């Protein structure tokens, strides 16, 4: 390792086949806003092979340093090799915090790395804060979303956190001002532990949810597969996409790809309508960026009413059919 690295917050920007996971960019934006009051520098960490173009790209997101572990042996993700490539640099440059996306790769890589470094890890965070003395505070939902824990790691460094994709916006790129630093991973084939013989790509099923301007999501309160048509009719009337909480997916009323929340998709519609949804944090993290959120629930004490802009207390079976009719009539009216 040649150059001195100054950044105190490092963000692992995951890439596969030279395509970065968006959560890495989201975390770069968050890291910059956390670091600013302490005047800390922020680094993006890239691991893989032939990464020059990606290093240029991450620098355009305003980071001070792009730390690049580039080696042919890192072309495919391998947890042992990735840990070896980054662990030495962390020991040498002693960053205060390391942020990663809570993706399949991040949730595999982060705990191995934290264990090797004998430091703490907060997993599946939905928010981050930094105290004036540099303590990372990670917000993590627990116990079915009924408890929100704020976790810190006071004794060891770096403070490692994996963060759910979609909770922070992707910052706007601009003019690159940072510099690239090579981490010279110096790996041997035996560092891999296993060899990737072949990779096959399976297209992730598209749900249209991520880009929909209107999302109508149904929950357990919808009642049955037959009643699920109410969710679909309201979504169709508004030209929107259909989403679901976990119970309708488990029951087979909706498809897995329609699940919204911590284990499902993150949506950012202009309008979100939740039907028969209680408001567990596991679901709400996936809809918190909705511009306008409306909830219909028969229980006036449902938690979702504390998180939506407009709440209607009542039986969705009575509210939804006339609502669909009214929307259809309104849409058929001549403009003016």
Ligand X SMILES: Cc1cc2nc3c(=O)[nH]c(=O)nc-3n(C[C@H](O)[C@H](O)[C@H](O)COP(=O)(O)OP(=O)(O)OC[C@H]3O[C@@H](n4cnc5c(N)ncnc54)[C@H](O)[C@@H]3O)c2cc1C
Q: Which parts of this chain interact with ligand X (CB under 6 A)? A: 144-145, 219-221, 245-247, 259-264, 276-278, 280, 282-283, 296-299, 302, 315-317
- Shortest distance, position 73 Cβ to ligand X, whole Å: 34
| Nearest approach, Cβ of residue 304 and ligand X (Å) | 7
As a whole number of Å, the end-to-end CA separation of the chain is 68
- Block residue for tokens 């890439």: 15
Query: CB-wise, 58 or 217, nearer to ligand X?
Result: 217
Pick 34 or 320: Cβ nearer ligand X: 320
* Nearer residue to ligand X within complex by CB, 95 or 264: 264
Bridge partners (DSSP) of residue 292 are 271
CB of 331 to ligand X, least distance (A): 25
Residue 12 in contact with residue 98, Cβ under 8 Å? Answer: yes
On whether the CB atoms of residues 158 and 96 are closer than 8 A, the answer is: yes
**Which of 96, 266 has the CB closer to ligand X?**
266
In the complex, the smallest distance separating the C-beta of residue 202 from ligand X, rounded to whole angstroms, is 21
Nearer to ligand X, 23 or 181 (CB): 23
Both tokens of 248, joined, read: 């309708």
In angstroms, what is the minimal distance from the CB of 312 to ligand X? Answer: 9
Question: How far apart are the C-alpha atoms of 23 and 305, rounded to whole Å?
Answer: 29
Phi and psi at 214, nearest 5°, equal: -130, 130
CA gap 300, 3 in Å, rounded: 60
Which position has the token pair 């706007």? 172
**CA dist., res. 293 & res. 313, Å (int):** 14
CB neighbour class for 74 (10 Å; exposed up to 12, middle 13-18, buried from 19) = buried
Do 296 and 276 meet the contact criterion of CB atoms below 8 Å apart?
A: yes
* Minimum gap (Å) between residue 280 Cβ and ligand X: 4
Q: Angle formed by the axes of helices 79-93 and 104-116, to 10°? A: 50
Give the shortest CB-145-to-ligand X separation in angstroms.
Answer: 5
* CB-nearer residue toward ligand X: 36 or 232: 232
In angstroms, how far apart are the furthest CA atoms of the chain? Answer: 72
- Identity of the residue, 245 or 290, whose beta carbon is nearer to ligand X in the bound complex: 245
**Of residues 36 and 299, the one with the C-beta less far from ligand X:** 299
**Beta carbon of residue 279, minimum distance to ligand X (angstroms, whole number):** 7
Q: Is 311 exposed, middle or buried (0-12, 13-18, 19+ CB in 10 A)?
A: middle
State which residue has the least CB distance to ligand X: 221
**Residues 186, 244: Cα–Cα separation, whole Å:** 47
> φ and ψ at 271, to 5 degrees?
-135, 125
Minimal distance, residue 24 CB to ligand X, in Å: 21
**DSSP assignment, residue 253?**
S
Looking at the Cβ atoms of 137 and 319, the one nearer to ligand X is 319
């Amino acid at each position: 390792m040649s150059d001195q690295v100054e950044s105190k917050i490092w963000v692992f920007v995951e890439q596969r086949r030279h395509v970065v996971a968006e959560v890495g960019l989201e975390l770069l934006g968050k890291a910059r806003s956390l670091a600013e009051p302490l005047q800390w520098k922020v680094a993006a960490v890239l691991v893989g092979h032939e990464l020059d173009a990606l290093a240029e790209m991450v620098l355009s997101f305003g980071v001070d340093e792009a730390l690049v572990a580039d080696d042919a042996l890192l072309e495919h993700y391998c947890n042992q090799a990735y840990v070896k490539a980054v662990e030495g640099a962390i020991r040498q440059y002693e960053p205060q915090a390391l942020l990663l996306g809570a993706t399949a790769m991040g949730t595999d890589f982060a705990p191995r790395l934290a264990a090797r470094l004998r430091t703490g890890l907060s997993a599946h965070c939905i928010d981050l804060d930094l105290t004036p003395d540099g303590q990372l505070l990670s917000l993590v939902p627990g116990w079915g979303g009924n408890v929100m824990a704020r976790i810190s790691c006071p004794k060891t460094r770096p403070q490692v956190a994996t963060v759910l994709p979609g909770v922070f916006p992707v910052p706007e790129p601009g003019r690159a001002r940072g510099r690239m630093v090579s981490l010279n991973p110096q790996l041997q084939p035996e560092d891999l532990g296993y060899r990737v013989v072949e990779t096959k790509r399976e297209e992730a099923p598209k749900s249209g949810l991520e880009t929909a301007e209107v999302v109508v999501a149904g929950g357990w309160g919808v009642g049955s597969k037959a009643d699920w048509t109410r969710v679909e009719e309201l979504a169709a009337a508004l030209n929107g996409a259909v989403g679901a909480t976990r119970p309708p997916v488990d029951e087979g009323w909706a498809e897995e790809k329609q699940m919204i929340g911590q284990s499902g998709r993150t949506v950012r519609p202009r309008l979100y309508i939740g039907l028969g949804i209680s408001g567990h944090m596991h679901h709400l993290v996936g809809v918190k960026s909705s511009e306008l959120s409306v909830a219909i629930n028969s229980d006036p004490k449902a938690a979702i009413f504390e998180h939506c802009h407009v709440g209607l207390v009542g039986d969705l079976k009575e509210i939804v059919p006339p609502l669909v009719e009214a929307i259809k009539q309104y849409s058929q009216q001549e403009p003016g």
